[in-house]
Amino acid sequence: MDMTMESCRKFVEVLASDSPTPGGGGAAALVGALGTALGNMVGSLTVGKKKYAEVEAEIIALKAKCDALQKELLDQVEADEVGFLPLAKAYGIPKDDPNRDKVMTEATIIACSTPMHIMELCCEAIEAIAVFAAKGSRLAVSDAGCGAVCCKAALQAASLNVFINTKSLKDRAVAEEMNAKCLGMLDKYCAMADEIFNTVKAGFGV
Residues 146-157, mean pLDDT to the nearest whole number: 98
Cis peptide before 22 (omega within 30 of 0): yes
161 and 24 in contact (C-beta within 8 Å)?
yes
Task: Please report, rounded to a whole number, the percentage of residues in the chain having pLDDT higher than 70.
Answer: 100
Q: For 4-23, what is each residue's pLDDT tens digit?
A: 989 999 999 999 999 988 99
Record the pTM: 0.94
What pLDDT sits at residue 200?
Answer: 98
32 — pLDDT class (breaks 50, 70, 90): very high
- Which of the 8 DSSP states describes residue 140? G
Residues 37-66, mean pLDDT to the nearest whole number: 98
Structural contact between residues 150 and 96, judged by C-beta atoms closer than 8 angstroms: no
CATH number belonging to domain 22-202 = 1.20.120.680
Distance from C-alpha of 206 to C-alpha of 200, rounded to nearest angstrom: 10
Tens-place pLDDT, residues 98-132? 999 999 999 999 999 999 999 999 999 999 999 99
Q: What is the pLDDT of residue 21?
A: 86
State residue 20's pLDDT score. 84
